[in-house]
Structure 1
Amino acid sequence: MKPLKPWVLVMVAVVIGLVGVAANSFAGRSSAPTPVLPISALGSMAVIAVVTLVLGIRVLRWRTGHRTRMLDPIFAARTLVLAHACAYAGAVLLGWHGGVIADQIPLLATRITAPVVEAALFMIAGGVVMVAIGFIVERFCRIPPEDMGDDEGLSEGGRAPDTEGGLA
């Protein structure tokens, strides 16, 4: 699996942010409520982030030598996929609520939108935490490079395989 690329997450956040600006603008013209998640959504975001981190710590502990039994490679791969999903979900939440705040800036002087902006700021903070945990757990799931002897690490073509640490 390929590692997360920060520029891809930034692009996701920017594109979703533009969609958030458009959706908030449309909602404002339609007299609909501002499309922001309630602060109670932070609870489910926290559960996802904590579960991802706990599973990543299990993989890290096995990698660092705390081995009582063999680690299931499917478990490590699923943990890595969860870390990627956590990072992408965080980027989407960050972009969407950043776009909503960007559209609300002209209305901040009226103080009508203060609760909406407050909720959006909390969601942005939660998105940043999810992206950070995604990167951290991805780092936990890296396969360390194998030690190679004189003739051990050579592939069929007589050259050494890529020794850079890959992902599970």
Structure 2
Amino acid sequence: MKPLNPLLLAVVGLALAIAGWSAAVLGGRYGLATPVLPPTGLVTMGVIVVLTLVLGIRVLRWRNGKKKKMLNPILAAWTLVLAQACAYTGAMLLGWHAGIFVELLQIWSLRNSQELTWLALGMAGGGLVMIVVGLVVERFCKIPPEDGDSEAGNGLPGRPRPGKAKGEGEYAYRGD
């Protein structure tokens, strides 16, 4: 699985900021409601962040050798996928609500939009937290290189390195 690309996260956030700003402008022009998530969305974002952190800490503790019990590899893979999904979702929410925030900030004094402005800012902040947690937990899931490993000259993945006997060093588990 490829690591997250921060540039791609920025592009997603920027594209959705433009879309959110456009939706807020069009909604205001035609008298429609401003498309901001309800406050319960912050609770949902908090649950996702806490779950991602808890699973990430489990993987980190195993990786650092604090657990003697073997970690379920499927759980570790799910944790990595959850971390990446959390970061992408955070980029989307940050972009969308930042665009809406910019539009609402321009009309702050014209109508009673202070509540929606603060809500959009809170949602954008929650998206930023999701991005940070996703990137941090993704780092938790990265397996450090073994002693003596280097990037070049170790053979192909799934094949023994030169100088190793068949069956030696092929599996990624800690034998305590």
Give the deviation of 1:158 after TM superposition: 4.7
SS where residue 109 of structure 1 aligns?
Answer: coil
Task: State the TM-score, normalizing by the size of structure 1.
Answer: 0.87
**Partner letter of residue 12 of structure 1?**
V
Q: Does 1:117 align with 2:117?
A: yes
Distance 2:111 2:55 in 1: 42
Change over 3 Å in CA distance of 1:157–1:70 after alignment to 2: closer
**Partner letter of residue 142 of structure 1?**
K
Give the deviation of 1:68 after TM superposition: 2.6
What is aligned with 1:95? Answer: 95
SS where residue 147 of structure 1 aligns?
Answer: coil
Distance 1:154 1:139 in 2: 23
* 1:44-76 CA distance string (max 9 Å, x none): 100000000000000000001122321111111
**Partner letter of residue 15 of structure 2?**
V
Distance 1:33 1:90 in 2: 23
* 1:15-69 CA distance string (max 9 Å, x none): 0111101111111122111000122211110000000000000000000112232
Aligned ranges 1:129-168 → 2 under 5 Å: 129-148=129-148, 154-155=154-155, 158=162
SS where residue 108 of structure 1 aligns?
Answer: coil
* 1:86-124 CA distance string (max 9 Å, x none): 001110000000110122232112252111100001101
What is aligned with 2:104? Answer: 104
What is aligned with 1:162? Answer: none
Q: Does 1:63 align with 2:57?
A: no
**Partner letter of residue 9 of structure 2?**
L
Count of residue pairs the alignment pairs up: 156
Distance 2:68 2:148 in 1: 25
What is aligned with 1:163? Answer: none
SS where residue 90 of structure 1 aligns?
Answer: helix
Q: Does 1:23 align with 2:23?
A: yes
Distance 2:16 2:27 in 1: 16
SS where residue 92 of structure 1 aligns?
Answer: helix
Structure 1: 4+ residue segments shifted above 2 A: 153-159
Gaps of 5+ in 1: 160-168
Distance 1:51 1:105 in 2: 33
Question: What RMSD over aligned residues (CA atoms) do the two structures have, in Å?
Answer: 1.8
